[in-house]
Structure 1
Amino acid sequence: MWGEWLGMQKTIVVLGMHRSATSLVACGLHQEISMGDDLLPASGSNPRGHFEDRHFVRMNDRILSAAGGSWDRPPSRQGILGVGERFSDQIQSTLDLASSGKEIWGFKDPRTTLTVPLYLPFLQNPHFVCCFRDPDQVARSLQRRNGFPLEKGLRLAAIYNRRLLTFLSDFTGQWHEPPSGS
């Protein structure tokens, strides 16, 4: 399965809103590739584990905080881009540490859905696995886990999904181009 990738480092990045099956996807990937060396432990809401490396969680929390927000109070995209340069060296060293000696590796932290534009210049041969879940189900799951009102969960799901689609559009450069001949 991974044979065609040999000889070239690949980075698999799992993106998606919290409670959108990102842990499930990362668990499956972790069966074949390293998803981190310092993973958060399992919890009641994710009994098999979160498959989030603490280094990326901390990095993303610092970025979001510097931009004036947090995972559940997402700062504007411009706010995140505005603090990017101050985190460049830290992002590079976090990626270097996580990828050292690995041909294929990955990471997952739902916050990366907001911060991925800052990581992109430093990722080696990135491949993105994007997770989407019915926003109503996300909101209900956040209500159970965090006690959030449904409206807050729906708003968060909309923000994360919109940011992910914007990133994919920017990354591929093809989503908004009309078909040739139109």
Structure 2
Amino acid sequence: MESKASASREIESPCDVLRPSTSNAERTLCVLGLGGGGTSMVAGCLRLAGVSMGERLNEANNEDQEFHDLIQCRPLLDGAGNLLPERLEQFRAFIEYRNERHPVWGWKHPETLRILPQVLDRLRNPHLLYIFRDVHAVAQRNHKRLGLDHPLSLRASLGHLTAMVNAIEQLSAPTLLISYERCLRHPEKFLRLLSSFCGLELTQKDCQDLASFVRPDRVSGEIDAQARARDRAYYKPESD
């Protein structure tokens, strides 16, 4: 019989597969979460593992700058919360271009949930990665960086979490749920689970090497000097 201690260790896994990944090698990886909630860490791990996370990448937060520019362009939505027709076409063109160039690619941006249901049908084999972090830690970050007071930041974070839960319930694509805090406690296990769900080919040595990127207080998503040496080995941007 399994002991209570071993059962507890199993419960503390950094990831849960809510809907299993597919056998199709081609896929699109969407990293979803709050700003300051760990998305840069997940995107950085994917980047280091060789996934194209953007051709014009912001190394401070591992965001695709082209996607960022599209989603920050205003007006974005109509009064009913739907993408304006011209914006919808821009996102579809963005997706089609990436599909043509990369069999596996992805992106992360805190505002992705605003448009994801409307473009999901254009994504090739979408796999959704939701990362959750202590809400107060996110509020502290936004208080210091953006000047928001704590109650306002907490309320905004809770609203975003509600949107994430709604998406988890409504979108039927393969889904991985990730705990930021447990990733920090078990980085190698997180990388093994991430590799399996995303169809990557990370060896045990790869997971050991990349584990240094999964650490607290990285300040930003920038890849540090130790990981950057591996970045040259793992991440190979495609030439024109």
Q: TM-score range by the shorter chain?
A: 0.7 to 0.9
Partners in 2 of 1:67 and 1:22 — Cα distance?
A: 24
Partners in 2 of 1:35 and 1:138 — Cα distance?
A: 23
Partners in 2 of 1:141 and 1:79 — Cα distance?
A: 31
Partner of 1:16: 33
- The letter of the residue matching 1:17 is L
C-alpha distance 162-37 of structure 1, shift in aligned 2 (>3 A): same
Partner of 2:237: none
1:51 aligns with 2:62: yes
> Secondary structure, in 3 states, of the residue corresponding to 2:57?
coil
Paired residues for 1:1-182 under 5 Å: 5-6=24-25, 9-32=26-49, 33-42=51-60, 50-62=61-73, 65-67=75-77, 79-81=80-82, 83-172=83-172
C-alpha distance 171-26 of structure 1, shift in aligned 2 (>3 A): same
> Secondary structure, in 3 states, of the residue corresponding to 2:107?
strand
Shift of 1:5: 4.5
* Aligned-pair Cα RMSD in Å: 2.0
Shift of 1:87: 2.3
> Secondary structure, in 3 states, of the residue corresponding to 1:100?
helix
> Any idea what the Cα deviations from partners look like across 1:2-30, whole Å, max 9, x if unmatched?
xx643xx2000000110100000000011
Is the 8 Å Cα contact of residues 92 and 122 (structure 2) preserved in structure 1? yes
- The letter of the residue matching 1:21 is G
- The letter of the residue matching 2:154 is L
Is the 8 Å Cα contact of residues 76 and 87 (structure 2) preserved in structure 1? no
Is the 8 Å Cα contact of residues 117 and 171 (structure 2) preserved in structure 1? no
- The letter of the residue matching 1:60 is I
What's the TM-score, normalizing by structure 1? 0.75
The percentage of aligned residue pairs carrying the same residue is: 25
Partners in 1 of 2:116 and 2:125 — Cα distance?
A: 14
Is the 8 Å Cα contact of residues 28 and 127 (structure 2) preserved in structure 1? yes
Shift of 1:89: 1.4
> Secondary structure, in 3 states, of the residue corresponding to 2:130?
strand
> Secondary structure, in 3 states, of the residue corresponding to 1:106?
strand
Task: For structure 2, list consecutive stretches of 5 or more residues without a partner in the other structure.
Answer: 1-22, 174-240
> Secondary structure, in 3 states, of the residue corresponding to 2:171?
helix
> Any idea what the Cα deviations from partners look like across 1:127-180, whole Å, max 9, x if unmatched?
01101111111101111111111112111111111111111111139xxxxxxx
- The letter of the residue matching 2:58 is L
Is the 8 Å Cα contact of residues 114 and 164 (structure 1) preserved in structure 2? no
> Secondary structure, in 3 states, of the residue corresponding to 2:58?
coil
Shift of 1:84: 4.6
Is the 8 Å Cα contact of residues 29 and 105 (structure 2) preserved in structure 1? yes
Shift of 1:86: 3.7
Q: Considering only CA atoms, is the larger Rg found in Structure 1 or Structure 2?
A: 2
